Amino acid sequence: MKATLIIHTKAVYDDGSIVEMTVWAVPMQVQGSGHGFKYSLFYGRDGRRIVGYDNEAGKGDHRHLDGDETAYSFSTIEQLIEDFKADVRRRRAN
C-alpha cells in the first residue's frame, strides 16, 4: 500500500505570505506519531516560517509558532486544520 494524498492546498495573500497544507494517509505510522497521517502545514512570509505544524519522523506531532517548537496533541485531521488556521488568523491579525 502506498501513501495517499488527501489534502493539498496553497494560497498566497496580497502581502506575499503563503499558507500551504499537505496531508497524506500513510500505510504505517510515522515514527513518534500514533496515527496514520503524515502532514505539513505552513504559514510564512519572506522565507520565514511563522506557523508550522508537522510530524517529522522521530519528532512526532509538533508545531512551530514564531520560532518556538512545542509538542502538539493530534486528535483528528479536522482539529489539526482548525488549530492551524486559528494560529494563522491570530498571527495575521497582528
**What type of residue is 24?**
W
Q: Mean pLDDT across the chain, nearest whole number?
A: 95
- pLDDT of 1 > 80? The answer is no
Contacts (Cβ under 8 Å, ≥6 apart) of 31: 57, 58, 60
Q: Where are the domains of the chain?
A: 4-93
**58-76: pLDDT as tens digits:** 899 999 999 999 999 999 9
Torsion of CA 78, 71, 36, 39, to 10 degrees: 70
Query: What's residue 57's pLDDT?
Result: 83
pTM strictly above 0.85: yes
**6-32: pLDDT as tens digits:** 999 999 999 999 999 999 999 988 889
